[in-house]
Amino acid sequence: MVESEFIPISQPFIDEKAKRYVSECLDTGWISSQGAYVTQFEQAFAKYIGVNYAVSVTSGTAALHLALLAMGVSAGDEVIVPDLTFAATANAVLLCGATPVLCSVDKATWTLDIDDCAQLISRATKAIIPVHLYGNPADMRALVTLSKEHNIVLVEDCAESLGATVDGHHTGTFGDIGCFSFFANKLLSTGEGGMLTTNSEHIAKKIRVLRDHGMSPTKKYWHEHAGLNYRMTNIQAAIGVTQLDRLDEFILARRDQELQYRSRLQGISDIVFKQELPGAISVNWLFSFCFLSDDNGEKVEALRAWLRENHVDSRPFFFPLHEQPPYKDERFVLSQTKLLSNSGMSLPTFIGLKESQIDRVCDLVVEFMHTYRED
């Protein structure tokens, strides 16, 4: 019996053009943060997103950290973040000496719950960080209104939503600053890396200074601020330029993959998919779904084990932040996040994933669902 090929949850896509550009960097010696590709990537990214300025950095986490520092978030401040997100969102707040305040998420969209967010605003609230989780835009209309009413900074966590839109405008254009990640599993990948987007020249200049050790841009080795080294390398930017050229192609390919998954799995009564808000168009970062019935995650773990046995990788949803030691919160409303987290999982999604592979994954899910019985 021939063993089935392994299907990973994700894998990066690097074409020949990227290899040529990287070789050029190596041949010319422009391998660190000083190089033409850095500027080219930033300018092309800003144009694609539809903002005046884009500033490249070492990671999505660095982008979040710099965004909060640039907006003056510090000790004594509170920043509202969703309870269901990767820990980097809350970690960036802690790195500024501020306090992350955990907000519940909507069970249909998996994004920040507006009503709970409004109730959490206090005199100490400095910022809100909506996360466009799994590529699904948060309710940016409501959040823009809320932030303006209370004079609160709005920083978008777009780590998973590059290419997603609301009313025809890209995520990363609604808040004061948008933060993107280019980790290896993202729609656009530079291995590690990130980007900040803004329409404010003042904010962009401040971010660039903080990114470069806090050094004056006009007086070499003179430091007006205590900054950080969060600069993207020319090699990473070279890869980013080639990926950005093909981003629309990548988005369409992943959308087709999502449609194929949905078509095959939508007949299973216990499976539900994320819901988009009116006017929002999500991107398929990782194809994800939830089980309607809550069984403390037993069904998710059983399905993931079944897929592993058949050489298919998968991912559970993020653990709720409120359960984890650095962010512990016992508000009762956050218990609903645990139900969502326990019931969710993601299936293989990447450029190069074949239709036949998706069919095989879906066949395995269907077979599992026909045989699984809750205790």
Mean pLDDT of the chain: 96
Give the N- to C-terminal CA distance of the chain in Å, as an integer: 33
For 250-291, the pLDDT digits (tens) are 999 999 999 999 999 998 989 999 999 999 999 999 999 999
How many Å separate Cα 29 from the centre of its chain? 32
Q: Rounded to whole angstroms, how far apart are CA atoms 257 and 32?
A: 36
Tell me if residue 10 falls in helix, strand or coil. Answer: coil
Average pLDDT over residues 170-176: 98
CB atoms within 10 A of CB 125: 20
Q: Which domains does the chain have, with CATH numbers?
A: 16-245 (3.40.640.10), 247-371 (3.90.1150.10)
Q: Scanning the structure block, which residue is given the tokens 């016992």? A: 330
Residue 55 reports pLDDT greater than 50: yes
| Helix axes of 60-70 and 88-95: crossing angle, nearest 10 degrees | 40
pLDDT of residue 207: 98
Residue 375 reports pLDDT greater than 50: no
pLDDT of residue 91: 98
Reported as a pLDDT band with limits 50, 70 and 90, residue 186 is very high
Reported as a pLDDT band with limits 50, 70 and 90, residue 1 is very low
Paired strand residues for 281: 165
Burial code of 205-232, b = ≥16 C-beta within 10 A, e = fewer?
Answer: ebbbbbbbebbeeeeeeeeeeebbebbb
- For the record, the structure tokens of 296 come out as 């403390």
Average pLDDT over residues 5-27: 96
Residue 223 reports pLDDT greater than 90: yes
Give me the percent of the chain exceeding a pLDDT of 90: 93
Residue 228 reports pLDDT greater than 90: yes
pLDDT of residue 373: 57
Residue 328 reports pLDDT greater than 90: yes
pLDDT of residue 113: 98
pLDDT of residue 58: 98
Residue 293 reports pLDDT greater than 80: no
pLDDT of residue 281: 98
For 331-353, the pLDDT digits (tens) are 999 999 999 999 999 999 999 99
Reported as a pLDDT band with limits 50, 70 and 90, residue 3 is low
How many Å separate Cα 141 from the centre of its chain? 19
**Helix spans in 128-190 (H):** 140-149
